Chains A and B, each alone.
Chain A
Amino acid sequence: MSLSREVAIVGVDESDRIGIVPDHTPIDMLAEAVRNALNDAGVAPSEVDGLFTAGAAPMASVLVGEYLGIQPRVTDSTMTGGSSFVIHIEHAAAAIHAGLCEVAVIAHGETGYSNRARGMRRAFDSWLPQGQFETPYGLMAPAPAYAMAAVRHMHQYGTSSEQLAEIAVATRKWAMLNPKAMMRDPLTIDDVLASRWISYPFHLLDCCLVTDAGGAAVVTSAARARSTRKKPVWVLGTGEAHTHQMISQMPDFTWTAARQSGERAFAMAGVGREEIDLCEIYDSFTYTVLVTLESLGFCGPGEGGAFVSGQRTAPGGELPVNTSGGGLSYTHPGMFGIFTIIEAVRQLRGECGQRQVPDARIALVNGTGGTLSATGTAILAVD
């Protein structure tokens, strides 16, 4: 059975404001984004019968349903970190294909920036595996975990800090073309290398932003998609996978579960890597993009450094990546996955103004969650 072209994404949007929004809670931002995405689709709130969200609270979809006055037939709080919302595309497609629901909303809101100001800190349980075997060694945040993965790649393959910086620079060039992006000043490789250390080999500018933002997408059946406001963006292929939760359990630091989720998505979509017009790849860190491009098969193992060199992923480059400016320069409230979907849909519809990729027909989105743990891949297209 294939889910290819069974469903379409027909509405996407962010919350009214993104960036630093101290007067909003995560649920506020999520709610605005859902309303805006439904408006974008031209679909009434009363039609929503599938609800997919993660992370806003325990029982996230139940809380969000209550908050938005939605009593869904399909509910899904699958929480795989930043990849959750891309994985939700596959779950929504399966549910719609099976006739369990017809209009699914995938939604997220998070206030990573303002949480800091509010003194909110992620709690950890000292009896869980990570609490016992990683946290006591100072491994309780993403940066050092992803940093160790990058160090191993550099050791095995000779990948350089300059090559990682290529990704930050290319992403900033896209952000400079996006009025909604937080960081829009020009950036050079030297700027990245001169920024302060966070966790070797990551400088500050190898790391994503921490912002406040909400985002949402509306997914529906092929039949319903015929009468929505804008042209449908078809889901050609999807895949999901995870290999571990904490970094010390990662099978190999130089590839991710995007190998599995990507392979399945490409097989379902029936397209080749060379047919992809643009990629939206969760860029929690520069290395995340490099290792994901390799894992998805855009280049061979260890070739990512050379692949991203010469600004290949920048505007005008051979493979546009993170055309919104990504988590590195546009926005990143904590779990970026939903924003990869929003930007891919806008590109495929031709709505991106200065940053529009010419003749974009097929896009790949890939979310990564945890510590390079869980990935979701989706391949999207317009007719």
Chain B
Amino acid sequence: MADYHKPLPTPIPDTQPFWDAARRHELLVPFCLDCQRHFFYPRRLCPHCLGERIEWRKASGRGRVYSFTVQYRAAHPAFAADVPFVSAVVELDEGVRLATNLVDVEPDPAKLRCDMPVEVVFDDVTPEVTLPKFRPVAEVER
């Protein structure tokens, strides 16, 4: 998309399946068959045991906000039109954390809190790249 000027990820072989899945609107998380743990971000060896028997597992897409911030001053000019916007670290039910943006919510600290439940949504920012983002869900929906 010619009008998207924000930084985009460049997949490498170890992360290509993650980004390919995101384009299909699926959230995949690597799982180590040696130590039976999920990890994130995707990499060649498991950071818990350095095992290399790794398989991709579909994540529930549910999690909680570990923490968040509302950015009022863009650190990069490409984000200048977006402020204020919410950056966050979400802890998935699978136990791994990832950085993201919170969407479908007012960028108002009073409307946000740590540990609030969220679910993944997929933002097709260009024809080639989809960014997993998260939106709040009601506690009862979980």
Contacts and interface: CB of A to CB of B under 8 A. Distances in A.
Interface of A: 124-127, 129, 131-141, 143-144, 147-149, 151-152, 155-156, 196-201, 246-249, 253
A85 to B, nearest CB: 24
Contact of A144 (B6, B82, B87): B87
Contacts, number: 113
Contacts of B114: 151-152, 155-156
Contacts of B70: 197, 199-200
Contacts of A138: 6, 71, 74-76, 79, 82, 85, 87, 101
A134 B66 contact: no
B29 to A, nearest CB: 12
Given A133-B98, A136-B6, A200 B72 contact: yes
B59 interface: no
Interface in B4-47: 6-12, 15, 41, 43
A196 B7 contact: no
A137 B87 contact: yes
Contacts of A135: 7, 9
B98 A126 contact: no
B99 A139 contact: yes
Contacts of B87: 137-139, 144, 148
Given A131-B10, A248-B89, A197 B72 contact: yes
B9 A132 contact: yes
A126 B78 CA distance: 15
A138 B70 CA distance: 11
Given A132-B41, A133-B41, A247-B99, A144 B8 contact: no
A112 to B, nearest CB: 14
B97 A248 contact: yes
Residue from the set B73, B85, B97, B99 with the largest chain A CB neighbour count within 10 Å: B99
Nearest to B115: A155
A122 to B, nearest CB: 10
A148 B69 contact: yes
Given A143-B75, A155-B113, A136 B69 contact: no
Residue from the set A139, A155, A253 with the largest chain B CB neighbour count within 10 Å: A139
